[in-house]
Amino acid sequence: MELIERYLQAVKFALPPEQRDDIIKELRDNILSQVEEKEAELGNPLSEDEQVELLKKLGSPMRLASRYRKQQQMIGATMFPIYWKVLKASLALAFLVLAAASIATAAAGKTLMESLGVLFRYPSVALMTFAWITLAFSALEFFGARLRLKDTWDPRKLPPLVKQSPRKSRFELIAQLLVQTIFGVWWLAGLHYQYLILGPGIAFLRFGPVWQTIYPLFVVMVLVDLTLTAAMLVWPQWIQGRRVSRLVMSALGLVVLYFLINAPDLFVAADSITPQLQALAKGTNYGVHLGLVIAAIVSVVNIGIESVRFVGRRLGRVHQATVS
């Protein structure tokens, strides 16, 4: 019955999120009832060809799912789920490009206003993105209807089943909380007692002043991290917990990265006289700066991806699923 599950998965993809599970449950029962009846009639299990025939009678997954959505004006209900996903992905991509450009501007030593100015262009870029994608899909809808595109689809070509990532167990969350607490205490203490972090390296290098300037930010990060994990432990039914947690921590991390990237000396020589130590500090600062810029770009990408998934789900819930 894998083919049937793959069909249901494809239908689920295009259903309104708030009714998704309920609708799929009901459709599954209906399909299985049909299968049972057919099997009783034939006296043997359905072959793949017979399953294909049965699914074809139900119509393509997108078409079936579209019946549960309200009819759109410019873009039909069949096309709308694809349009919606493409629009969200494109808006996120536009944000990522601008955010990366903004970080690159900051890394190049420009002022905060100049680097933020790049990001502030987002509303106009987003509007243009929205307009072009809507136009493209409207055209596709219009010409698709004119050309009377046939509903040619083959259940055999449906995508394979995707395994759901299991929710973290209580034990895993407690272990995570423990590790986060140990790491948080070590890190916060280490910024004051530097040998805890730098070890024997303290004879050569010390943290620059910026680490103390943003110390409160580190405290906030540790507290927020612990609070979010504790919240997931207390409310296991909070499905979006992991996503929210990653999003908030990535955003806070980005703020920290911003300050670090803009700091002239992340590390200073332990001895301000020895030229070798000065060179070591300079080289280390260059290498770490480069690493931080890469980390910032990765962080922006993560935030973009997580935001799209999170906002997508929230918007999906708001999108009313009345049936046409």
Partner 1 sequence: MQHTVEGPTNNEVLENLRLELRRGCLILAVLAELRDERYGYTLRKALAGQGMEIDEGTLYPLLRRLESQGLLVSEWREEDKRNKRFYRLSADGKLILKQLSAEWKSINASLDGIL
Which residue carries 């919606």 as its tokens? 84
Number of residues that bind partner 1 (CB under 8 A): 21
Please report whether residue 59 would count as binding partner 1 according to CB under 8 A: yes
Binding flags for partner 1, 128-147, as an x/- string (CB under 8 A):
--------------------
CA–CA gap between residue 152 and residue 62 (Å, rounded): 12
Which DSSP symbol is given to 34? Answer: H
Decide: helix, strand or coil at residue 207.
Answer: strand
Q: Determine, following the binding rule CB under 8 A, whether residue 33 of this chain makes contact with partner 1.
A: yes
- Contact in structure between 9 and 161 (CB atoms under 8 Å): yes
CB of 33 to partner 1, least distance (A): 4
The yes or no reply on residue 67 touching partner 1 (CB under 8 A) is yes
In terms of Cα–Cα distance, which of 297, 310, 187 is closest to 246? 310
Distance of CA 111 to the CA centre of its chain: 30
CB of 30 to partner 1, least distance (A): 5
Sole window of 41-49, 59-67, 91-99, 265-273 interacting with partner 1 (rule: CB under 8 A): 59-67
Distances in Å between the Cα of 55 and the Cα atoms of 8, 10, 11, 64, 155 are 10, 12, 11, 11, 7
Q: Is 213 in the site for partner 1 (CB under 8 A)?
A: no
Binding segment for partner 1 (CB under 8 A), chosen from 23-31, 40-48, 211-219, 269-277, is 23-31
Tell me: does residue 21 bind partner 1 (CB under 8 A): no
Say if residues 106 and 115 touch (Cβ distance below 8 Å).
yes
Yes or no: say if 205 and 269 are a contact pair by the CB < 8 Å rule. yes
Angular region, 199: left φ>0, alpha ψ -120 to 50, beta rest: left
318 binds partner 1 per the rule CB under 8 A = no
> Which one of residues 26, 53, 151, 172 is an interface residue with partner 1 (CB under 8 A)?
26
Q: Which of 4, 8, 14, 23 forms a contact with partner 1 (CB under 8 A)?
A: 23
Does residue number 322 form part of the binding site for partner 1 (CB under 8 A)?
yes
Instruction: Report, in Å, the least distance between residue 132 CB and partner 1.
Output: 29
Q: Which helix (H) or strand (E) holds 275?
A: helix 275-318
Q: Of 32, 112, 179, 298, which lies in the binding site for partner 1, with binding defined by CB under 8 A? A: 32
Would you count residue 19 as binding partner 1 (CB under 8 A)? Answer: yes
Q: Is 279 a residue that touches partner 1 (CB under 8 A)?
A: no
- Own/partner contacts of 174-183, CB < 8 Å, gap of 24 or more, are 174/233, 176/229, 177/226, 177/229, 177/230, 177/233, 180/222, 180/225, 180/226, 180/229, 181/226
Binding residue (CB under 8 A) for partner 1 from 64, 249, 256, 308: 64
Nearer to partner 1, 58 or 277 (CB): 58
Q: Which residues bind partner 1 (CB under 8 A)?
A: 19, 22-23, 25-27, 29-30, 32-34, 57-59, 63-64, 67-68, 322-324
